[in-house]
Chains A and B, each alone.
Chain A
Amino acid sequence: MSISESDLDRVLKLSHLHIPDSEKADYVAQLDKVLGHMDNINQLNLDDLEPSAWANATATPARKDVVVKAELDLETNAPEWVDHSFRVPSILGKET
């Protein structure tokens, strides 16, 4: 396993993180070490196993289409409650 600085840049972009250029080489080396562990795991013989995201991949259970009303005290618990709605801060920043 080896990762490049461009892989790191892509991860930084996706995670909205910023790292000074001077520190990037360190991070690449550290990430490479972490991901290098995959090489160990890759030595396992998994030929007869299907990939799975679950410990036990049986079918998901389902429920009947019947309305169940929840009793919630939203007004008390909401940080800001206006017109029976959750008030959230402005989504777009102000233009500068």
Chain B
Amino acid sequence: MATQYEVVIGIEVHAQLSTKTKLFCGCSTAFGSKPNTNVCPVCLGMPGALPVLNEDSVELAIRSGLAMNCDIQEMSVFARKNYFYPDLPKGYQISQFELPICLGGSLAITVPNADGSYEKTIGITRIHMEEDAGKLIHQGADAIAGSDSSLADLNRACTPLIEIVSEPDIRSAAEARAYMETLAMIVKYSGVCDANMEKGNLRADANVSLRPVGQEEFGTRTETKNLNSFRSLERAILYEIQRQTHVLESGGTIRQQTLNYDDSTGKTSVLRDKEDAHDYRYFPDPDLKPLMVTQEQISAIRDTLPELPRAKEARYVDYGLNDQEIKVLLADLDLNAYFENCVKAVPNAESIKEMAKWLVGDFSALVNAAGGSFDTPVIKQDAFLELIVLLKDGTLSGKMAKGILEKMYQTGKTPKALLESSGGGQISDTSELDGIVAQILSANMDVVAKVQGGKTKSADFLMGQVMKETRGRAKPDLVKQLIMDQIAAL
């Protein structure tokens, strides 16, 4: 029987900290600036320039550690990781090696499977702080191979990153994706990182190895670098599992290598033979003394940690929201803040469900269609809540509310103001509707005959006529009831 293999995965995530300036100098971290405009002697690696640590980056690194249940170290040390490459003009990257700022955390994940989902906890080995490198654009070819020169943009050099290193606890591509998605949400909600993968401020390296089922010892691993979407991460791992399985089953051995993943072909290729730590000749950076934090500082940061996505999710389930609503409400930080403010204003379960439904549905559709955001919403919270009240008390039908919401979005007016200018809300007064129904029936006796003949579906036409007459304001259930009652009495 062929050997069965178990996959072992560990993930390293680089997250850019949400600071205004770089890790060791006052240059801006703004994305999309003209090349080499956010640079100074420190990040250009000019001789004699000395790094000075950004205090906000330390706070954010500690926040990330607390959000992932790590032990925050009172003393950590910046080290030089030496390598020679034009994206790093100093000749070394300032990172943390032997003494990182956070050790030993964990992350609880929910992994979808054929039976629904299962829960798992992934260990976090460490979180350390480091500076990013610059960006190279290779000239004369699509890639580095074959290019005749490269253009270096050092705007990104020295931007603050944390590297979050997981334990090799992950056992499938689906678990890797769930881990990465959970981690992205946590760094986003704790204010550590914008987690915008398109802008590259969250990227993952996947260490993948196989071992025969039952074997304790790990197999040789490969590291696939710079996976910048959840999909790429999952696909690259699936490919690598398949590739390694094929190599092992053909009697070959896996080489410890660093790989690049090409999303267009869905394949990995070799970047270089993997280095070990000693290749980088790490040593403590003599330009930076140890980073010291006190228990008081750690406690103060802990006190400002917001409610994290998993706790929010549990609360939303208690509200009775469905999976899709919860997913959408958690995916966008601004939408989530809008929803939470509404919940604070009207903490009533029925209203919350209604708010969630409209926020996730029609309101989001309007915002998305207009390319807007919930950060600066056209429809203010009070106006939206007024709409929910009008829906709940029956003044508005769902259909009317949809129309009103659109007009609110176009004009910025409140629902009450719009209702007044359009002649009022939903008609739910029988006496007011009775006459209109009678009038429509007498004008459409042929249709009435069909209904009497058993074609009850034809009543929909009559209902449509009543709605038209009342400009959509009649309460649909009531109209239907009146139509059937009046036909029965004919």
Contacts and interface: CB of A to CB of B under 8 A. Distances in A.
Given A67-B26, A67-B27, A85 B152 contact: yes
A65 B56 contact: yes
A20 interface: no
A53 B286 contact: yes
A68 B149 contact: no
Contacts of A87: 139, 149-152
Contacts of A58: 289
Interface stretch (A29-37, A41-49, A88-96): A88-96
Contact of B19 (A60, A65, A83): A65
Interface range on chain B: under 10, 10 to 19, 20 to 34, or 35 or more?
35 or more
Contacts of A68: 21, 25-27, 40
A92 B144 contact: yes
Interface in B73-89: 77-78, 85-86
A82 interface: yes
A91 B77 CA distance: 32
Given A65-B56, A87-B150, A70 B27 contact: yes
A59 interface: yes
A84 B37 CA distance: 9
Interface in A1-57: 14, 53-54, 56-57
A92 B374 CA distance: 47
A72 to B, nearest CB: 7
Contacts of A89: 149
A14 B279 CA distance: 7
Contacts of B35: 83-85
Contact of A65 (B37, B54, B86, B283): B54
A65 B24 CA distance: 10
Contact of B34 (A60, A64, A84): A84
Nearest to B79: A53
B205 to A, nearest CB: 20
B145 interface: yes
Nearest to B280: A14
A29 B35 CA distance: 51
B115 interface: no
Nearest to A15: B281
Nearest to A61: B52
Contacts of B145: 92
A91 B150 contact: yes
A63 B289 contact: no
B86 A53 contact: no
B289 A57 contact: yes
B185 interface: no
Interface string B32-69: 00111101110010000000111111100000000000
A47 B147 CA distance: 56
A50 B486 CA distance: 96
Contacts of B150: 87-88, 90-91
B148 interface: yes
B149 A65 contact: no
A65 B23 CA distance: 9
B21 A66 contact: yes
B144 A70 contact: no
A59 B290 contact: yes
A90 B286 CA distance: 32
Of A56, A60, A66, A84, most B-chain CB atoms within 10 Å: A60
Interface in B279-321: 279, 281, 283-284, 286, 288-292
A68 to B, nearest CB: 3
B17 to A, nearest CB: 10
Contact of B39 (A60, A67, A72): A72
B41 A62 contact: no
A59 B56 contact: no
A84 B147 contact: no
Contacts of B78: 60
Nearest to A10: B278
Contacts of B53: 60-63
Given A65-B20, A85-B36, A87-B149, 20 more contacts: A53-B286, A54-B284, A60-B290, A61-B52, A62-B54, A63-B26, A63-B54, A64-B56, A65-B54, A66-B26, A68-B40, A69-B28, A70-B26, A74-B39, A85-B152, A86-B36, A86-B154, A87-B151, A91-B136, A92-B147
25 contacts: A53-B283, A54-B286, A59-B291, A59-B292, A60-B292, A62-B55, A63-B54, A65-B57, A66-B20, A66-B26, A67-B21, A67-B26, A67-B27, A68-B27, A70-B39, A70-B40, A72-B39, A84-B34, A84-B35, A86-B36, A86-B86, A88-B151, A90-B148, A91-B147, A91-B150
Interface of B: 19-21, 25-28, 34-37, 39-41, 44, 52-58, 77-78, 85-86, 136-139, 144-145, 147-154, 278-279, 281, 283-284, 286, 288-292
